[in-house]
Amino acid sequence: MILCITEKPSVARDIADILGADIKCDGYFKGPDTCPYVVTWTFGHLCCLKEPGDYTDLWKRWSIGQLPMIPPKFGIKVIPETYIEKQFRVIETLSHSADQVINCGDAGQEGELIQRWVMQKAGVKCPVLRFWTSSLTEESIRNSFADLKPESEYQNLYMAGLSRAIGDWLLGMNATRLYSLKYSSPGNVLSIGRVQTPTLALIVQRHFEIANFKPEDYWELRTVYRDVTFSAQGKKYAKIEDAEAAVERIAKEPLTVTDVAEKKGKEAPPRLFDLTSLQVECNKRWGWTADETLRLIQSLYEKKVTTYPRVDTTYLSDDIYAKVPKILGDMAPYAAVTAPLLAMPKLPKSKKVFDSSKVTDHHAIIPTGQSPHVLVGNERQLYHLIALRFIAAFYPDCAFTTTTVLAKAADIDFKASGKVINDPGWRALYENEKSKSEAQADEKNDDDRILPPFTKGESGPHEPAIVKKTTQPPKYYTEGTLLRAMETAGKTVDDEELREAMKENGIGRPSTRAAIIETLFKRRYIYRERKNIMAAPAGIALIGTIKDEMLKSAKLTGIWENKLRRIERGSYAASDFISELKTMVSEIVVNVMSDNSNFKIDVGNGDADKDTASAKAGKKPSPKSPKGGADAKEKPKRTRRKKVETLEAIKCPKCKKGHLLRGRTAYGCSRYAEGCDFLLDFSTHPATLSPQELYDKIKAK
């Protein structure tokens, strides 16, 4: 008997139909006696790493004295949910009768980890082969079954996934307990995670960049000559008087054209989609959340109309080139725009599209050629976006001519520029696709306007004027721009090629970033205001509490992600990565324990899921629970919160900017989240002091 284990029941049904295992049983499909195949499934994760209390009773209660928690050997367990335990028993029973197992999990790091844990826990002893596909079409499934690989070829992929899970456990479990017990009020949990905390730090940093931004007015010169507006080059005036003097000076002189230059240029089609760029585009166009886009593209994949979605490359491998004409030919709804391509003797093959060296497990997201008639609602919009991007990749570049006119009046240089589209090329596909906001943005872009003919040396009267402007703060993150910031470890990068090069140092993986953002929303560390992502008071306070850069640095998290990718490639040892994290966790515990601050902050939300590493089990943290602490199923015991009293009349003696707060055990500064660590313990300055008595005592000191 050959047992196939898939990650979802729907995929199991597709594979079973193709293999002839069409008899539905309880938890699996089987075929007639002549069919050797049995097909079963998981529901994503059936197993997880053991929780602290599974290793020793000492770790059941949350206690600073037991940190760091570092098991001598990590173990796994079946997630204690009835439907999961039932399906696991089905897999376990079938696997003991199997002569061969075929791992049909999702073709990625997480898929490999899910299946390996289930097979390990089930005690699979027979040979295991790996089924790997980028598409769930019948043709792709048959081809993949004809090209099964030994499980050993995917060992590095598994080790990378295992290292990621252990790393998240080590940091999440220890840091969450440490910070909750040290800094949070009773019953509240400060959730810390290897990826979520640096992501939150990016949002909080942007919050303060905007809050502390001081706008400044400045003035620029414009002048109108022959109905064209010219802008002064390199001239910004801090004082309006200086700008007015310049206008008065140049108004007396004619504007003389000093140079007219035309330059032909080309714009290549946009790159194919990886998951992040797809989420960014959908957020920009329609305001969809990253999680919403991920769910939709996963549905398109399972409906066989697009390829595997959880990818981080915008390239296709070279072997796909030969398959493109058939895919284009099968895209019947787009026959009008694919016909010119199919009429070519040979499709163009660009290095910006086809590059096997940029493809590892999967290529960019493209249509499979299957009819999209099964799609509904937003699925249709998403498919259309992907289909047009794929077709555009084989269209000619957009050809244009840029005209730049330089001029001078008195001692001030001016410039006007415009663009003429000579051949729209791929842009012709998008003529009817522009949203109203995009069209308005184009109209406002002076560089895209069409200029009348100018001649070098011509001159004439002009109408100078002053334009008042104000410096602008950075913009709040949207989900789209936050995804880009996670992808590039917080660096602002517009250049596509540079962004590609930085992906290996990004925060998280394309498949996990949406879940990380949703986790921060769920824990009320951030919230939405229209499209903007805002830092909530709880998130601001949490980041302000964390002094250790290792926990909140996007750069350091990017370095860890790079090492995980190297483990996947076999160029870095998983044992070294885990050893580094164990050392780091121990250092964090020592650093936090050496902090003599007793100031407690109400930043937990009581209902937060427990440590990131175990959130999938659906349990709630309870630092004070007598029935197992973080490992118990109940929520933290709710306690009546005593509000922090604000003493507006008393300025902070240290930073001179904030005012004092009367907390539970000490007085502190209202600017604690911005780095002021001033504290007065109640042992020296009792909580019973009146504001005047406290002021007098501080002044005397």
Tokens of 100: 């061969």
Whether residue 302 contacts residue 341, with contact meaning beta carbons closer than 8 Å, is answered with no
Q: Which of 308, 315, 334, 395 is catalytic?
A: 308
CA–CA separation, 173 and 74 (whole Å): 13
Residues 261-273 as b or e (16 or more Cβ within 10 Å = b): eeeeeeebbbbbb
Nearest Cα residue to 313 out of 486, 498, 500:
500
DSSP label of 333: G
617 contacts 203 by C-beta, under 8 angstroms: no
Distance from C-alpha of 281 to C-alpha of 297, rounded to nearest angstrom = 13
For residues 369 and 236, the answer to whether their CB atoms sit within 8 Å is no
Q: 510: Cβ–Cβ under 8 A, 6 or more apart, which residues?
A: 274, 275, 276, 310, 311, 312
308 is catalytic: yes
Closest CA to 204 of 526, 493, 550, 478: 526
Q: Encoding tokens for residue 186?
A: 């009773």
Report H helices in 191-289.
Answer: 196-211, 240-251, 275-286
Would strands 23-25 and 28-30 be described as parallel, antiparallel, or unpaired? antiparallel
Q: How far is CA 452 from CA 254, 407, 413, 499, in A?
A: 19, 15, 20, 38
Core vs surface per residue 119-152: b (16+ CB within 10 A) or e: bebbebeeebbbbbbbbbbeebbeebbeebeebe
DSSP assignment string, 575-596:
HHHHHHHHHHHHHHHHHHHT--
Q: Which residues are catalytic?
A: 308
